[in-house]
């Protein structure tokens, strides 16, 4: 029995009923005011829903200066928390029809409406550029998403019949969870397609845990710790570094530009014809998904290799290992700093991040760390709220030259999925990078690009997948409770009729919901959250913000190595911390461009008189690495 009076189990750390306080909290903001800095007010291990994934006991070295690769031993009391191959945690009880694993049904016990029907009815294709923000917001959000969550689909034979029809339910493999397409679908009907393939995802059962209901297990570290750059296991990390002078392995083009190394068999991992074509290897398999994703990973790789060169000059005595780990620590800090300092105020609102303890400090160390906070990614975050940002995804990526004009034909999204070689063509890396900081992102709204709603991963054919339909289906696969439960969680009154949704939704959207769902209790979380009005000054809605805020609170308060803390043996010195605090996304872009001359100070905001282009030379003078010089 531990100090909290709970009995410790050997095979897994804990499994406790739902946090009753979360279910009854008025609102995260109210809970925060009542309970100090905390978003939900979760105070102790006993109040949290701790995911059981048969965590084995792991020996930890409390004096370790650097994070482990797999996230273990971050929390010294609960060494498995936040580590790779552990489960997401739930804020609310899972919604499975059998209480274990089978996707929920409607209130009348019927199959839920088709995720594709919902997508085409409620979330049409439309091009609405954002008036304030650049594509950098979208792209940074995806970097964060790939750092903190990675579900894996289970293996199964084809989940749709070869003629595009649904397979009879009796013959369907248990790992299949296909999406039915209505006969009058505006796009797929042309191809006679009645079925979109989708599968169930890996869960606690697959790890030999007899946990009911099942929990989804992710294949990366939950922490915001640059796992997408370095990998989430010691083995992956080892394969990605050169073990010389602290450097990450890289390929250098004939004219001296640096990119990630290639995978061994590009034809297997990318949509390319030969194994001599470009297909990158990095800490996260999604690196090749589209050109701007690959560009983002190149930028982080170049930052690492830049740092080790500088550190080696300051400290000639440093070994490969020290150089590598110090650069890695810096890269992680930069990802955390840009996320909490620049990105989250845009996503959640300036006041919200300040009032809920997730804003950054201007000076000094933060004391937010709380070893009772489970840092794990929330199921409703990965399977709901954070996916709402798929609305920001554009149809094309602009190639932008130094004059901020198009320097080539815009690249159409669906033509360049899983084909990253285009970023290595002369001049293109810089033009994609400038494009990220110049091109407007799509507005956060109920509209999506058809490049991802009909054409996703179409490879070379005319027919692709529907990302939004998949997201809705995924929520059901993950046992995410319906929208009404999240209203209560987030401080809105539970809706008893569709009319009760008027507090956060426009009439015309409610009318469409009524046509689709049998009762107000059946609405999927992602769907209801998307249809709510955006909170002014944010990119989100009430039922999403509370989950996003909780998630980002936990990634900070539950991460012993968070860059603003002085509690880990390898904490930054005050001088180092102030260098990191001056680092912005524009610093990253200026530093890692091949030849980018100018950048606006705030790369997330479109260029305008108040956010004008300034010479990169000027931005980079603020990056002074002298505090990394050590006396031996």
Provide, rounded to whole angstroms, the least separation between the CB of residue 37 and ligand HEM. Answer: 25
Question: Which residue lies nearest Ca ion, judged by its C-beta?
Answer: 227
Contact between 591 and ligand HEM per CB under 6 A: no
Contact between 142 and ligand HEM per CB under 6 A: yes
Binding partner selected for residue 48 from ligand HEM, Ca ion, none, CB under the kind-specific 5 to 8 Å limit: none
Structural Rg of the chain based on CA atoms: 24
Q: What is the DSSP letter of 608?
A: B
Contact between 70 and Ca ion per CB under 5 A: no
Provide, rounded to whole angstroms, the least separation between the CB of residue 136 and ligand HEM. Answer: 11
User: What gap in Å lies between CA 170 and CA 204, rounded to an integer?
Assistant: 25
Q: What is the DSSP letter of 585?
A: H
Q: Tokens at residue 476, please?
A: 């059901």
Is there a binding annotation on residue 390? Answer: yes
Interface mask (CB under 5 A) for Ca ion, residues 224-243, using x and -? Answer: -x-x----------------
Provide, rounded to whole angstroms, the least separation between the CB of residue 470 and ligand HEM. Answer: 4
What phi and psi, each to the nearest 5 degrees, are found at residue 70?
-90, 5
Provide, rounded to whole angstroms, the least separation between the CB of residue 629 and ligand HEM. Answer: 38
Contact between 221 and Ca ion per CB under 5 A: yes
Contact between 49 and Ca ion per CB under 5 A: no
Contact between 348 and ligand HEM per CB under 6 A: no
Contact between 147 and Ca ion per CB under 5 A: yes
Q: Tokens at residue 118, please?
A: 């919902």
| Under 8 Å between Cβ of 339 and 556 | no
Q: 540: how many CB neighbours lie within 10 A of its CB?
A: 24
Contact between 389 and ligand HEM per CB under 6 A: yes
List helix spans (H) across 209-261.
227-230, 234-240
What phi and psi, each to the nearest 5 degrees, are found at residue 177?
-150, 60
Number of amino acids touching ligand HEM (CB under 6 A): 20
173 is catalytic: no
Provide, rounded to whole angstroms, the least separation between the CB of residue 422 and ligand HEM. Answer: 15
Please identify, using beta-carbon distances, which residue of 140 and 311 lies nearer to ligand HEM.
140
Binding partner selected for residue 145 from ligand HEM, Ca ion, none, CB under the kind-specific 5 to 8 Å limit: ligand HEM
Contact between 436 and ligand HEM per CB under 6 A: no
Please identify, using beta-carbon distances, which residue of 369 and 525 lies nearer to ligand HEM.
525
Which residues touch 284 (CB under 8 Å, ≥6 apart)? 146, 147, 150, 220, 227, 228, 229, 297
Contact between 151 and ligand HEM per CB under 6 A: yes
Contact between 471 and Ca ion per CB under 5 A: no
Interface mask (CB under 6 A) for ligand HEM, residues 450-479, using x and -? Answer: --x--------------x--x---x-----
Among 358, 392, 530, 571, binds ligand HEM (CB under 6 A): 392
How would you label 142-170 residue by residue, b for 16+ Cβ within 10 Å and e otherwise?
bbbbbbbbbbbbbebeebbeeeeebbeee
| Continuous segment of H or E residues that includes residue 548 | helix 542-557
Please identify, using beta-carbon distances, which residue of 19 and 414 lies nearer to ligand HEM.
414
User: What gap in Å lies between CA 383 and CA 478, rounded to an integer?
Assistant: 7
Cα torsion angle, 525, 173, 265, 465, sign: negative
Which residues touch 476 (CB under 8 Å, ≥6 apart)? 103, 104, 112, 115, 177, 524
Provide, rounded to whole angstroms, the least separation between the CB of residue 393 and ligand HEM. Answer: 4
User: What gap in Å lies between CA 120 and CA 88, rounded to an integer?
Assistant: 29
Binding partner selected for residue 379 from Ca ion, ligand HEM, none, CB under the kind-specific 5 to 8 Å limit: none
Q: Tokens at residue 4, please?
A: 């909290």
Q: Which stretch binds ligand HEM (CB under 6 A): 72-80, 313-321, 326-334, 390-398?
A: 390-398
Please identify, using beta-carbon distances, which residue of 151 and 501 lies nearer to ligand HEM.
151
Provide, rounded to whole angstroms, the least separation between the CB of residue 326 and ligand HEM. Answer: 29
User: What gap in Å lies between CA 167 and CA 497, rounded to an integer?
Assistant: 36
Q: Which stretch binds ligand HEM (CB under 6 A): 25-33, 167-175, 303-311, 389-397?
A: 389-397
What phi and psi, each to the nearest 5 degrees, are found at residue 184?
-95, 20
Q: Which of residues 179-208 bind ligand HEM (CB under 6 A)?
A: none
Which residues, in sequence order, are bridge partners of residue 531? none
Contact between 288 and Ca ion per CB under 5 A: no
Please identify, using beta-carbon distances, which residue of 177 and 628 lies nearer to ligand HEM.
177
Number of amino acids touching Ca ion (CB under 5 A): 5
Which residues, in sequence order, are bridge partners of residue 491? none
Binding partner selected for residue 382 from Ca ion, ligand HEM, none, CB under the kind-specific 5 to 8 Å limit: ligand HEM
User: What gap in Å lies between CA 180 and CA 192, rounded to an integer?
Assistant: 12
Binding partner selected for residue 151 from ligand HEM, Ca ion, none, CB under the kind-specific 5 to 8 Å limit: ligand HEM
User: What gap in Å lies between CA 385 and CA 388, rounded to an integer?
Assistant: 6
- The long-range contacts involving 346-349, CB below 8 angstroms and separated by at least 24 positions, are 346/133, 346/137, 346/538, 346/539, 346/604, 347/137, 347/141, 347/538, 347/539, 347/540, 347/548, 348/538, 348/540, 348/545, 348/548, 348/549, 348/552, 349/535, 349/537, 349/538, 349/545
Q: Between vectors from CA 330 to CA 135 and to CA 261, what angle results, nearest 5°?
A: 70
Binding partner selected for residue 484 from Ca ion, ligand HEM, none, CB under the kind-specific 5 to 8 Å limit: none
Which residues, in sequence order, are bridge partners of residue 96? 103
Q: Between vectors from CA 527 to CA 524 and to CA 530, what angle results, nearest 5°?
A: 145
Binding partner selected for residue 470 from Ca ion, ligand HEM, none, CB under the kind-specific 5 to 8 Å limit: ligand HEM
Contact between 386 and ligand HEM per CB under 6 A: yes
Which residues, in sequence order, are bridge partners of residue 605? 133
User: What gap in Å lies between CA 548 and CA 540, rounded to an integer?
Assistant: 9
Q: Tokens at residue 53, please?
A: 């994934």
User: What gap in Å lies between CA 441 and CA 458, rounded to an integer?
Assistant: 22
Q: Which stretch binds Ca ion (CB under 5 A): 219-227, 322-330, 391-399, 585-593?
A: 219-227
Contact between 85 and Ca ion per CB under 5 A: no
Please identify, using beta-carbon distances, which residue of 70 and 450 lies nearer to Ca ion.
70
| Under 8 Å between Cβ of 261 and 239 | no
Among 150, 368, 455, 492, binds ligand HEM (CB under 6 A): 150
Contact between 90 and ligand HEM per CB under 6 A: no
Please identify, using beta-carbon distances, which residue of 94 and 260 lies nearer to Ca ion.
260
Provide, rounded to whole angstroms, the least separation between the CB of residue 83 and Ca ion. Answer: 10
Q: Which residues bind ligand HEM (CB under 6 A)?
A: 138, 141-142, 145, 149-151, 289-290, 382, 386-387, 389-390, 392-393, 452, 467, 470, 474
* Active site positions, annotated: 146
Binding site, annotated residues for heme b: 390
Q: Which residues bind Ca ion (CB under 5 A)?
A: 147, 221, 223, 225, 227
Binding site, annotated residues: 390
């Amino acid at each position: 029995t531990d100090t909290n009076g709970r009995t410790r189990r050997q095979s897994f750390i804990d499994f406790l009923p739902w946090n009753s306080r979360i279910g009854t909290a008025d609102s995260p903001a109210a809970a925060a005011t009542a309970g100090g800095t905390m978003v939900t007010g979760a105070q102790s291990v006993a109040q949290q829903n701790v995911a059981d994934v048969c965590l084995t006991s792991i020996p930890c070295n409390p004096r370790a200066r650097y994070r482990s690769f797999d996230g273990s031993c971050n929390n010294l009391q609960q060494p498995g928390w936040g580590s790779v191959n552990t489960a997401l945690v739930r804020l609310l009880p899972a919604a499975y029809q059998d209480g274990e694993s089978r996707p929920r049904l409607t209130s009348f016990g019927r199959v839920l409406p088709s995720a594709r029907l919902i997508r085409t009815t409620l979330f049409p294709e439309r091009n609405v550029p954002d008036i304030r923000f650049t594509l950098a917001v979208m792209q940074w959000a995806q970097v964060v998403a790939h750092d903190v969550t990675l579900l894996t689909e289970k293996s199964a034979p084809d989940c749709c019949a070869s003629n595009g029809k649904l397979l009879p339910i009796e013959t369907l493999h248990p790992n299949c969870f296909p999406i039915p397409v209505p006969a009058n679908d505006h796009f797929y009907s042309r191809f006679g397609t009645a079925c979109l393939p989708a599968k169930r995802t890996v869960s606690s059962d697959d790890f030999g845990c007899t946990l009911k209901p099942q929990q989804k297990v992710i294949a990366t570290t939950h922490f915001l710790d640059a796992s997408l750059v370095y990998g989430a296991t010691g083995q992956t990390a080892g394969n990605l570094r050169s073990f010389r002078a602290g450097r990450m392995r890289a390929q250098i083009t004939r004219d001296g530009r640096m990119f990630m190394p290639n995978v061994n068999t590009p034809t297997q991992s990318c949509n390319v014809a030969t194994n001599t074509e470009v297909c990158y290897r990095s800490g996260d398999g999604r690196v090749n998904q589209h050109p701007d994703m690959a560009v983002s990973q190149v930028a982080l790789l170049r930052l690492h290799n830049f740092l080790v060169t500088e550190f080696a000059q300051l400290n000639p005595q440093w070994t490969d290992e020290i150089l590598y780990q110090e650069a890695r620590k810096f890269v992680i800090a930069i990802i955390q700093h840009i996320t909490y300092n620049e990105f989250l105020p845009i996503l959640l609102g300036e006041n919200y991040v300040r009032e809920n303890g997730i804003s950054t400090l201007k000076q000094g160390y933060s004391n937010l760390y709380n070893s009772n906070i489970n840092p794990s990614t929330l199921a409703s975050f990965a399977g709901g709220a954070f996916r709402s940002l798929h609305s920001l995804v554009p149809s094309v990526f602009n190639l932008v030259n130094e004059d901020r004009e198009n320097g080539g034909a815009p690249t159409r999204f669906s033509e360049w999925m899983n084909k990253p070689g285009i970023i290595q063509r002369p001049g293109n890396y810089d033009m994609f990078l400038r494009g990220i900081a110049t091109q407007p992102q799509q507005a956060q709204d109920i509209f999506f690009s058809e490049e991802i709603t009909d054409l996703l991963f179409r490879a070379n054919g005319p027919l692709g997948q529907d990302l939004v339909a998949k997201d809705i289906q995924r929520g059901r696969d993950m046992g995410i409770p319906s929208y009404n439960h999240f209203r209560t969680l987030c401080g809105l009154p539970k809706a008893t009729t569709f009319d009760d949704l008027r507090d956060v939704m426009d009439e015309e959207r409610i009318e469409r919901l009524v046509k689709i769902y049998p009762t107000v209790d059946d609405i999927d979380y992602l769907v209801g959250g998307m249809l709510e009005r955006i909170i002014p000054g944010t990119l989100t809605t009430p039922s999403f913000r509370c989950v996003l805020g909780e998630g980002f609170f936990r990634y900070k308060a539950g991460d012993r190595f968070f860059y603003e803390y002085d509690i880990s043996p390898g904490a930054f010195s005050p001088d180092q911390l102030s260098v990191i605090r001056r680092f912005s996304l524009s610093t990253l872009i200026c530093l890692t461009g091949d030849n980018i001359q100018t950048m606006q100070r705030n790369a997330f905001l479109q260029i305008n008189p108040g956010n004008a282009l300034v010479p990169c030379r000027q931005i980079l003078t603020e990056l002074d690495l002298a505090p990394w010089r050590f006396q031996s």
